Amino acid sequence: MRPIIFHVDMDAFYASVEQRDEPRYRGRPVVVGADPKEGRGRGVVAACSYQARQFGIHSAMPISQAYRACPQAVYLRPDFAKYSRVSRAIRKIFHRFTGQVEPISIDEAFLDVSHQAASASQALELGARLKREIYQLQRLTASIGIAPCKLVAKIASDWKKPNGLFLVRPEQVQDFLDPLPVSRIWGVGPKTQERLEKMDIRTIQELRKMEQDDLQERLGKFGRQLWFLARGIDERPVRSQPREAKSISQERTFAQDVDDDQLLEDTLEQLCLKVAQRLSQGGLMGKTTTLKLRYSDFTTITRQVSSRFPTCSAREIQSTALTLLRRYRTPGRRIRLIGVGLSNLEAENQDTPRQLRLF
């Protein structure tokens, strides 16, 4: 089966969110970015509405230049917390369509829908449905490129922007790519572009005329990759991220059931250390500590306690787990398994001093 890849790109994302939330901004040039300070501001345009683009404004343009082009535009500072909330909501919509979702920025993602669509027309239908659902739930438009690989899907999403839906069939890939400038290839930056230009290569068709060895010699490993990309051969898979962990836990089953307090407490200490290590590797902290005990007759209890502040400190986890063990263990009953876990996880606070995070 041929892969069917979507590249979904939200249209003028930051500006569209602002226009959605403030009716007065709709239909007007909106520029999200640095403060223009009447044309004397520093910094750049982060995003702008399509109405602003008619004045020649584009993202990454100096804000002072944007102001000169269109002083009457609405100038807004970015609200990244809001944009990432919207971004997360849109990702949830993607996941209703396929589990294979690879976000590549706050407003772009690749989706592998090979298992959801069997033909080009089904893929188009699915793309239209995804756009509709995003609009119904978020009042925002997306552009979708559909192709047999990431390289072409990414270019195709740009083809009919805004609110676009564009499909490149496998047999159309070469004709689609050939006339494009090499800079359209994802990964070809200004530097590579310049080097290719010195070799008189401007279009993908010209790139295709080069020998593989020659490209590799001049551009290294990427040159070899370019030889394939110019032919529309791009086997990079859609890499879906693992869903975020809901809890991190460690447990140990004893070879022989245990009733020795010291052995239990020592084991618990080691488990807490491992949990703390895994939390810090994942950049996570948790509020709820859970102790799990399985007795020799296989009855299992879990007891948990939540603290006000999240932690990833081994010492804190250990002291909570020990309290739980001493409070809830039935004395005299032999224990077969002991475990400890942390849940209610959140991203580790970057401001927490390093030494507090270490043991």
- List active site positions: 108
Which CB sits closer to Mg ion, 10 or 293? 10
9 vs 102, which CB is nearer to Mg ion?
9
C-beta closer to Mg ion: residue 10 or 258: 10
x/- map, 150-179, Mg ion, by CB under 5 A: ------------------------------
User: Considering only CA atoms, which of 9, 162, 12, 76 is closest in space to residue 66?
Assistant: 76
Per-residue b or e along 248-280, where b marks 16 or more CB atoms closer than 10 Å to that residue's CB: bbbebebeeebeeeeebeebbbebbbbbbebbb
Does residue number 18 form part of the binding site for Mg ion (CB under 5 A)? no
Residues 258-277 that bind Mg ion (CB under 5 A): none
Instruction: Output the smallest distance, CB 163 to Mg ion, in A.
Output: 12
Residue with Cβ nearer Mg ion (10 or 271): 10
Residue corresponding to tokens 């309290």: 323
7 lies in the binding site for Mg ion (CB under 5 A)? no
Say whether residue 234 binds Mg ion (CB under 5 A).
Answer: no
CB of 13 to Mg ion, least distance (A): 5
Stretch that binds Mg ion, among 4-12, 53-61, 261-269, 293-301 (CB under 5 A): 4-12
Closest separation in Å from C-beta 272 to Mg ion: 44
Give the shortest CB-141-to-Mg ion separation in angstroms.
10
Using the rule CB under 5 A, is 107 a contact of Mg ion?
A: yes
Smallest gap from Cβ 251 to Mg ion, in A, equals: 45
Say whether residue 9 binds Mg ion (CB under 5 A).
yes
Tokens of 312: 């990833």
Nearer to Mg ion, 46 or 271 (CB): 46
Tell me which stretch binds Mg ion (CB under 5 A): 9-17, 75-83, 86-94, 264-272: 9-17
Q: What residues line the site for Mg ion (CB under 5 A)?
A: 9-10, 13, 107
